[in-house]
A and B are shown apart, each in its own frame.
Chain A
Amino acid sequence: MAVLPDADRTRIWRGLMRIGERYADPIDKAALRAAVDATDDWIDANAASFNAALPAAAQSGLTGAQKTLMFCGVAAFRVSPAFAQRLLGGMD
């Protein structure tokens, strides 16, 4: 998959600004947008590396969307369990 379209990166940027309300975030809007772009670039550049790091069964058995969701689930838990629960739904 190629990098996200500019409009989609903008939607992420806007969403992050909304979710970040009432939190002390020292970076400005331009820096946040640059970070969103860099994150998407990094994901695109390292997709093959991520796939290679997965066990063989997952490499061949999961679709691209399933692998991405798994990546998001693990990353969301690193934000907080509550955030991951909003993303994944039921979670013990």
Chain B
Amino acid sequence: MASGDVVGLIQEIMYPGTLMATPDVILGTSTPAESISVHDFDAATDEYLDLKVELSGYDGGGFTVKIRWISAQTSNDVIWQAAFRAIPDDAEDLDTTAHTYVYNTVTATSASAVGEVDYTTITFTDGADSDSVADGGLCFLRIGRDANAGGDDMTGDASLVSVVITET
């Protein structure tokens, strides 16, 4: 597929056993009001979400993970982090094999108004950087907020609205 095309089909959100980002709803003001589903990432504790992803049409390039989020404040930064775990055919024993996620990060500045959606991206190269995921294969994409890092200085939750996985 060409660069920029969506290659990750997000099938499901999976909640980690601990430190999960919590589901929340931001109410719109239309009539009737939109109930905008989000997941809140804490400001003091690193929290995570796992996405079950099938790769389709992936041509072996890098990945651009697009993160759309709403900040609780109008200034300061959030550090988003993401990492892939490849689940190849007949190879990864999920209930016995611990995987060490190696994160790529981006420091995203909060939008200029609470309620506005900020667009930010995390990029991966092909190969080890994205755990050698392959077209037609299953993988997990773990999204997190590195809240305890010094560069993450925004007080309040970061609310994840959506994630898109494209080929870079």
A interface vs B, CB < 8 Å? 10, 13-14, 16-18, 20-30, 32
Contact = CB atoms under 8 A, between A and B. Distances in A.
A74 B73 CA distance: 28
The 7 closest A-B pairs by CB, nearest first: A28-B153, A17-B43, A21-B72, A14-B44, A28-B76, A24-B74, A17-B155
Max chain B Cβ within 10 angstroms of own Cβ: one of A23, A24, A26: A24
Contact of A20 (B40, B72, B74): B72
Nearest to B147: A29
7 contacts: A16-B155, A17-B42, A17-B44, A18-B156, A20-B72, A23-B114, A23-B156
B75 interface: yes
Contacts of A10: 44
B44 A25 contact: no
A22 B114 contact: yes
B114 A24 contact: yes
B156 A20 contact: yes
Contacts, number: 55
Contacts of B75: 26, 28
Nearest to A24: B74
A10 B58 CA distance: 45
Contacts of B167: none
B53 interface: no
A29 B154 CA distance: 6
B146 interface: no
B157 interface: yes
Max chain B Cβ within 10 angstroms of own Cβ: one of A14, A21, A27, A32: A21
